[in-house]
Chain A
Amino acid sequence: MGNNESNGEVEEFRPKGAIAFFIVLILFFAVVWFALYFELLSRG
Chain B
Amino acid sequence: MGDYSFRFTKSEKRLVAVLIIIPMVLLFIGVYGGLMQTLFRAGIIQSDPFVGGDYYKGLTFHGVLNAIVFTTFFAVAFGNALIPYSLKKNLNVKVAWTSGILMLVGSVMAAIVILIGEATVLYTFYPPLKAHPLFYIGLTLLVVGSWVASGNWVPMYLQWRKENEGKKTPLAVVGMFTTFIVWFIATLAVAVEILFMLLPWSLGWVDEINVMLARTLFWFFGHPLVYFWLLPAYVMYYVFMPKLAGGKLFSDMAGRLVFMMFIVFSVPVGTHHQYMDPAISSQWKLLHGIFTFAVALPSLITAFTIAASLEYAGKLRGAKGLFGWMWKLPYFKKENWFFAYLITGLIIFIFGGIGGIINASYQMNTVIHNTAWVPGHFHLTVAGPVMLAFLGGSLYLVGQFLNKTIRLKTWAMIAPYIYTIGLLIMSYGLKIGGLMGMPRRTNTGASYANPDSVLYQADWMPYIDLTVIGGSIMFVGIVIYIISFFTTVFSKSNGPEEDAVVTFPISEPLHDEPSTWLRNFKPYIIIAIILIVLSYTPVIYDVLQATYGGSLPYSPDSPVPLR
Binding site for B on A (CB under 8 A): 1-5, 9-10, 13, 15-22, 25, 28-29, 32-33, 36-37, 39-40, 43
Interface centre among A1, A15, A21, A32 (most CB of B within 10 A): A15
Contacts of B310 in A (CB 8 A): 18
Interface residues of A, dominant DSSP: helix
Q: Which residues does chain B contribute within 8 Å of A43, judged by CB atoms?
A: 367
Residues of B within 8 A of A1 (CB): 511, 513-514
Question: Would A4 and B512 count as touching, CB distance under 8 A?
Answer: yes
Taking each of A9, A18, A33, which has the highest tally of chain B beta carbons within 10 Å of its own beta carbon? A18
Determine the chain B residues whose CB is within 8 A of the CB of A19 once the complex forms: 304
Contacts of B361 in A (CB 8 A): 33, 36-37
In the complex, the chain A residue whose C-beta lies closest to that of B304 is A22
- Whether, in the assembled complex, B353 has its beta carbon less than 8 Å from a beta carbon of chain A, the answer is yes
Q: Which residues of A contact B93 (CB under 8 A)?
A: none
Dominant SS at the B interface? helix
B322 near A32 with CB under 8 A, answer no
From known contacts A33-B361, A40-B363, A43-B367, infer whether A17 and B354 are also in contact, taking CB-CB under 8 Å.
no
Contacts of A10 in B (CB 8 A): 510
* Cβ distance A41 to chain B, nearest Cβ, rounded Å: 10
Please state if A33 and B357 are interface contacts (CB–CB under 8 Å). yes
Docked-complex contact A32 and B514, CB < 8 angstroms: no
Q: Are A18's CB and B367's CB within 8 A?
A: no
Instruction: Tell me whether A40 and B366 are in contact in the complex, defined as CB-CB below 8 angstroms, given that A17-B324, A25-B350, A29-B354 are known contacts.
Output: yes
Whether A28 touches B350, Cβ cut-off 8 Å, given contacts A4-B511, A20-B322, A33-B357, is yes
Nearest to A37 among chain B residues (CB) is B364
A25's nearest neighbour on chain B, judged by CB, is B303
Residues of B within 8 A of A33 (CB): 354, 357-358, 361, 364
Interface flag for B508 (CB, 8 Å): yes
Q: Flag if A3 contacts B512 (CB, 8 Å).
A: yes
Q: Can you list 20 A-B contacts (CB < 8 A)?
A: A1-B513, A2-B512, A2-B514, A4-B512, A10-B510, A13-B510, A15-B308, A17-B322, A17-B323, A18-B304, A18-B310, A19-B304, A20-B322, A22-B307, A33-B357, A36-B358, A36-B367, A36-B368, A37-B361, A40-B363
